[in-house]
Amino acid sequence: GLHMLSEETVALCRDIVRHCCEGLGSEGEDTGSGLSAMDVSHLLRALAKGSVGWSGPAVGLLLSRVLSRPAEFSQTELLVALHAAVQIRDDRVDEVQVHLYNGLLSLLSEELVSGSLRSLKAPDLITASALLAKTGHLDTSAWSSLSRQLAGLLDARLTPSTSGGSEVCIAGGQPESRDDIGSGDEQQSLQRQHRQLAECLIVVLNCFSRIGVQDAPMLRAAYHFLADGSPGVSSGIAVAAFAKLGAASCAEAKGLALPVRDVASAWWNLLHAASSNNSAAPSAVATSLSDLSLRLVGLAHALAGSQPAPWRLRRVLRLEALSLVGIAPEMLQEPSDSARLEEEAESFVEPAAGRHSLVASCSQVLTGLQCLFLLRPSAADNCDSLPALRACIAALDAVQGPLEARGRHRPHSEPALAATVLDVLEQLCSRAAVEPATSFSMGALPQLPVLRPEHAVAQYFIDAALLPAS
């Protein structure tokens, strides 16, 4: 990064940036800078990596150029420039003025809805989704555009050809005729296409879940894609995202008018991704504690609403969940996790970007345990056998230490969102008193406010008696 360079090198970089921006006006006019749209986007990306002393004025001039002449930028160039602007604002908020930042968010929405970003390939769709999620921009039209584009990419995996053959469409790129490639090349193309689309699906699905945008067409397309097979799909991220969106179970799928058959098939494929035999026992081997905790949260939500699912799938969901619970204590005893816990607990900062948080995983394991017991659908699917109870108690003991350590080392203030939690609980109880048979799913209670799962809320232990009105 720039902070590792010598003073002479930084001064040279500063002079280069200043020279490049000569001729740019504060209103986006260009009187001879000679910068192309690609130059502007690349220069912004370089400035996002660190400040060179005169980067503040340069950033303002370059962003004004983006806002005043967006038609000059290709899809990728525009997304690179917008991504750099968001990163610069996160790191050095004073360098991106509020009116420029708001203008860039509006530009992103406009281009997604009716501009150059309304038909993106998979890599650019990933960038656009990450931008909306990172900024927390809740423009429903923009999110709907992402949903429509993702569904289009997934549905266009195999496009009929007018010549009688068929065309393989590679993740939004130009179709390749099936007749022009050999069987081996064709197979490789299909596999490459599926990997690209799977990566795109997981990122977009995770972005929707981070903001709490429950979009039925996007969920329908995702489940339909996963129902055809899920090689290369990160099952932990996928199932946790479905849980956050209130769409992990067959019961919730019915409430959202999603095909229950697709949901059941998708779950079966996700659980058996490593096996070609559907009758084989699911693999409970988690690649990391983070993956284990995410999968457990998703499985617990799916099991809670599994009544409409075939009995065999319900049994597999239960076995997989209990298998993950059983190996959680062993994974939490790794020495590296203990050392990391001390580092995170004693420093009052979050883990670096992309780094797994031990405490977050422990919290997710605790959430999964709560769902297994509090939201179980019936006595036939419960976890009340003695071995299952012992496994759950061992997992609870394992996560208790890290969660208590974080509570001791880090200050905690109850956020304003806690009041919204109480409002949701009050409405749930009020509705249950009038309609006791109503299912407590997100799809069944659409009028309730949606809690954004990325926000911390106060922890409550509640004893509630839901009785019919007398």
User: Which residues does 146 contact at the CB level (< 8 Å), separation at least 6?
Assistant: 112, 125, 128, 129, 132, 204, 207, 208, 218
Spatial distance between the Cα atoms of 293 and 447, rounded to a whole number of angstroms: 30
Smallest Cα–Cα separation from 359: which of 301, 400, 411? 400
Q: What span, in angstroms and rounded, lies between the C-alpha atoms of 375 and 44?
A: 49
CA 355 distance to own-chain centroid: 15
Q: What is the pLDDT of residue 272?
A: 74
Q: Which residue has the tokens 């790129």?
A: 173
Cα(72)–Cα(28) distance, rounded to whole angstroms? 13
φ, ψ for residue 183, nearest 5 deg: -65, -40
pLDDT at 24: 77
Q: For the chain, 470 residues long, give each residue's pLDDT as a single digit of tens.
A: 555 667 787 788 788 888 788 777 766 666 656 788 999 999 999 888 877 766 788 888 899 999 999 999 999 999 999 999 999 999 888 889 999 999 999 999 999 999 999 999 999 999 999 999 999 888 999 999 999 999 999 887 644 444 444 443 434 444 444 444 456 777 777 777 788 888 999 999 999 998 888 899 999 999 999 988 766 667 788 899 999 898 998 888 888 899 989 999 999 888 876 344 334 444 444 568 888 889 998 998 888 887 777 888 888 888 888 888 888 888 877 544 445 544 544 443 444 433 347 888 888 898 888 888 766 555 445 566 788 888 888 998 988 888 877 766 665 555 566 676 677 667 766 665 555 544 444 444 445 455 444 444 444 444 444 445 54
Q: Of 100, 98, 105, 103, whose CA–CA distance to 136 is shortest? A: 105
Characterize the bridge pairing of strands 176-177 and 166-168: antiparallel
Instruction: Give the whole-angstrom CA distance, residue 61 versus residue 303.
Output: 54
Specify the pLDDT at position 455.
44
pLDDT of residue 439: 43
pLDDT for the residue 160: 46
CA distance 284 to 318: 12
The three-state secondary structure class of 429 is helix
What's the length of the chain?
Answer: 470
Number of Cβ atoms within 10 Å of the Cβ of 341: 20
Q: Give the phi and the psi of residue 46 in degrees, each rounded to 5.
A: -65, -40
34's tokens: 């000679």
List the end-to-end C-alpha distance of the chain, in Å, as a whole number.
69
Describe the crossing of helices 75-91 and 98-114 by its angle, rounded to 10 degrees.
150
Task: State how far the Cα of 237 lies from the Cα of 260, in Å rounded to an integer.
Answer: 21
DSSP state of 451: P
Distance CA 140, CA 214 (A): 11
318: Cα separation from own chain's centroid? 25
The CA distances from residue 301 to 41, 130, 173, 177, 291, in Å, are 43, 25, 36, 42, 16
